[in-house]
Structure 1
Amino acid sequence: MDDDGSVLVLTNPCDVTADVVLRLLAERRIPVVRLDPGADLHAGASLTATYRTGGQWGILRTASRELDTTRVRSVWVRRPSPYGGPPALAGRDRRFAADQALWGAGGILASLPGAHYVNHPWNNRAAEFKPSQLSTAQRCGFLVPSTVITNELNEARGFVTCQPGAVVYKPLWNTPYRVEGQPHSVWVREVCGSEITDAVSVCPHMFQAKVDKAFDVRVTAVGGRLFGVRIDSPDLDWRCRQDLMTCTAVEVIGSVACAVTAYLAELRLIYGAFDFAVTASGDWYFLECNPNGQWAWQPAQTTAAIARAIADLLEKGPDT
């Protein structure tokens, strides 16, 4: 394959969302190299980068491709596996190898000259912090529910007591969690002051005024294109039982569209999955923005449109 102007897709082998876009790129005859650096570099793939005064070059070799990394047009950072170290190693040796892979291979793949990133991995990471999301949302003009993040018992209870309505608890990160050996998700749920104990001091907790919502909206932003979907669910957190929710396309109102554009610009994002709670009076409250959120679960027409928009960005490459 001619690797001139290739698209590099960083994701795990089970990522069916990436497959939707990869099929489009194949139909357009755009050369693509797919890599899961956290796993593939321990399974036969190799990555080399050379830096000298006046230039740099590099080569990525996989089981089926050989790519000049200085000629990559776009990099799509989808859902690569964590850098976990070679399975044959254990303990300190595996941790050492994992760290070297993250800072070495991860650094190379984040520094390809002239490549267009969707999104750049460092921007993705910075935009995943919920305090940063809330602070940025407030500056960009979104309506933001009253929120406190604290590990102080009295502060947490005081916040709950002072709110005129209900309060919800939200985890600050979706940490893999198990109960009696079984995977367990920590969903958004209502909480009252009496439930908050000294255990809150173990780590920061996030409490937020519950929005009296009529429905939820997911806005998927791809460059300057916005795709809105209304979500009707019997649950406070629609992710709990997605088989019970219904999704229909919805227009993104002008004030929200402007705030989305400002938010993406401030955090240097090309893609973002925004979640809103919409009241009966039509107020859109910002809840969060996942800089790498899933989108293929949406109605078929919306999913196809998002896939085309991402493929367009990857095919176009960097602005000249």
Structure 2
Amino acid sequence: MTDPSGSVLVLTGHHDVTADLVLRILADRRVPVVRLDPGADLHAGATLTAAYRTGDQRGTLRTASRELDLTAVRSVWTRRPSPFQGPGELEEQDRRFAGSQSQWGVGGILASLPGAHYVNHPWSNRAAEYKPAQLATAQRSGFPVPSTVITNDPAEAREFIARQSTGVVYKPLWNTPYKVGGQARQVWVREVRAHEITAAVAACPHLFQATVEKAFDVRVTAVGNRLFAVRIDSPDLDWRRRQSLMECTPIDVPDRVARSVSSYLATCRLAFGAFDFAVTAAGDWYFLECNPNGQWAWQPAPVTDAIARALADRLQKGPEA
């Protein structure tokens, strides 16, 4: 394996145990790694400097234990960094200002390192998180896609539901934090009927999708052209709701699906993606979504280990990956 010089920069929170799986592999291979949570560490003593002039770009990151030349970074792994916020001791307005400047300054510096390989580039991650864009890209990539409507018109929603013989589910367009009585609540995928549609739909766009008469679900974790798939059998419509009840079994990915995954990643400029499918008894793999930064360490140990090693390989190779 090619072993270019330079460090791997990992952008994630301090308690990201999924990242630890990959970092241990890189440590065993003696690949230099710098771990940074830019939204937190730059308020706790770390410093970042970048300089630009005609024909030259330089930068330095200093942490309590490392000094990193930003022009010598081989790979950047954008895992789960904290949101950019200003220091907690500032007044609210000043804190918002500092947080915004950090997002556009620090975020811009770390997204523009010369020659670095990104898994994934943060701007590609953000663009690929929009569900309407996911559905449009899935269609162009050759995936079967369930009939879907996104609307804030209650009449359109009722009409769509009435046309679907298999039923309809509602999905949030974004995993927005939500509390009831001070307690955090999760909005799961659930069945919805026409009589449940009220004028409240007009408050914001809602995603309604024809129910796929599935035999099982599949999660495909893609690291470049290396695909790792598990069949998910669950008693729930949304298997994420009670993961203790689901069963995961490795499964092969059909060639036609693999080709569409490759096309999707290329279109979205992604090196990593977590794809969810609903598979029918006839063997049709319906695209549901692709999380460009999805979790993967919940899968059976052999699958999790294989994904960790594939990510380590890619980060170690850097621009040659």
Instruction: Specify the alignment match of 1:89 in structure 2.
Output: 90
Instruction: Specify the alignment match of 2:272 in structure 1.
Output: 271
Instruction: Specify the alignment match of 1:220 in structure 2.
Output: 221
Q: CA RMSD in A?
A: 1.0
Instruction: Specify the alignment match of 2:48 in structure 1.
Output: 47
Residues in 2 aligned to 1:23 and 1:121: alpha-carbon distance in whole angstroms:
23
Q: Does 2:287 match 1:286?
A: yes
Instruction: Specify the alignment match of 2:13 in structure 1.
Output: 12
**TM-score w.r.t. length of structure 2:** 0.98
Instruction: Specify the alignment match of 1:248 in structure 2.
Output: 249
Amino acid at match of 1:162: R
Residues in 2 aligned to 1:78 and 1:315: alpha-carbon distance in whole angstroms:
16
Residues in 2 aligned to 1:170 and 1:298: alpha-carbon distance in whole angstroms:
23
Residues in 2 aligned to 1:35 and 1:178: alpha-carbon distance in whole angstroms:
30
Residues in 2 aligned to 1:232 and 1:274: alpha-carbon distance in whole angstroms:
16
Deviation at 1:263, TM superposition (A): 0.3
Q: Does 2:27 match 1:21?
A: no
Indicate the SS of the match to 2:166: coil
Residues in 2 aligned to 1:33 and 1:173: alpha-carbon distance in whole angstroms:
31
Residues in 1 aligned to 2:215 and 2:150: alpha-carbon distance in whole angstroms:
26
Deviation at 1:4, TM superposition (A): 4.8
Instruction: Specify the alignment match of 1:150 in structure 2.
Output: 151
Amino acid at match of 1:70: T
Amino acid at match of 2:166: G
Residues in 1 aligned to 2:90 and 2:254: alpha-carbon distance in whole angstroms:
53
Instruction: Specify the alignment match of 1:111 in structure 2.
Output: 112
Residues in 2 aligned to 1:202 and 1:92: alpha-carbon distance in whole angstroms:
28
Aligned 1:290-301 pairs, distance under 5 A? 290-301=291-302
Residues in 1 aligned to 2:276 and 2:5: alpha-carbon distance in whole angstroms:
38
Indicate the SS of the match to 2:316: helix
**TM-score w.r.t. length of structure 1:** 0.98
Deviation at 1:90, TM superposition (A): 2.7
Instruction: Specify the alignment match of 1:201 in structure 2.
Output: 202
Deviations 1:212-259 (A, max 9, x none): 111000000001100010000000000000000010100001110000
Deviation at 1:164, TM superposition (A): 1.2
Residues in 1 aligned to 2:287 and 2:213: alpha-carbon distance in whole angstroms:
13
Q: Does 2:32 match 1:58?
A: no
Amino acid at match of 2:260: A
Residues in 2 aligned to 1:59 and 1:47: alpha-carbon distance in whole angstroms:
6
Amino acid at match of 1:118: V
Deviation at 1:288, TM superposition (A): 0.0
Instruction: Specify the alignment match of 2:305 in structure 1.
Output: 304
Residues in 2 aligned to 1:268 and 1:31: alpha-carbon distance in whole angstroms:
26
Residues in 2 aligned to 1:164 and 1:245: alpha-carbon distance in whole angstroms:
27
Residues in 2 aligned to 1:250 and 1:63: alpha-carbon distance in whole angstroms:
44
Amino acid at match of 1:234: P
Residues in 1 aligned to 2:308 and 2:91: alpha-carbon distance in whole angstroms:
40
Residues in 2 aligned to 1:300 and 1:319: alpha-carbon distance in whole angstroms:
28
Deviation at 1:296, TM superposition (A): 0.4
Amino acid at match of 1:145: P
Tell me which stretches of 4 or more aligned residues in structure 1 moved more than 6 Å: none
* Aligned residues between the structures: 318
Instruction: Specify the alignment match of 1:30 in structure 2.
Output: 31
Instruction: Specify the alignment match of 1:174 in structure 2.
Output: 175
Indicate the SS of the match to 1:149: strand
Indicate the SS of the match to 1:318: helix
Instruction: Specify the alignment match of 1:186 in structure 2.
Output: 187
Residues in 2 aligned to 1:158 and 1:45: alpha-carbon distance in whole angstroms:
55
Q: Does 2:276 match 1:261?
A: no
Deviations 1:30-60 (A, max 9, x none): 0000000001111111100000111110000
Residues in 1 aligned to 2:12 and 2:139: alpha-carbon distance in whole angstroms:
32
Residues in 2 aligned to 1:253 and 1:121: alpha-carbon distance in whole angstroms:
30
Deviation at 1:319, TM superposition (A): 2.5
Residues in 2 aligned to 1:291 and 1:155: alpha-carbon distance in whole angstroms:
30
Aligned 1:64-143 pairs, distance under 5 A? 64-143=65-144
Indicate the SS of the match to 2:60: strand
Residues in 1 aligned to 2:36 and 2:55: alpha-carbon distance in whole angstroms:
28
Residues in 2 aligned to 1:145 and 1:90: alpha-carbon distance in whole angstroms:
48
Residues in 2 aligned to 1:306 and 1:4: alpha-carbon distance in whole angstroms:
23
Residues in 1 aligned to 2:112 and 2:91: alpha-carbon distance in whole angstroms:
30
Deviations 1:246-280 (A, max 9, x none): 10100001110000000000000000000000011
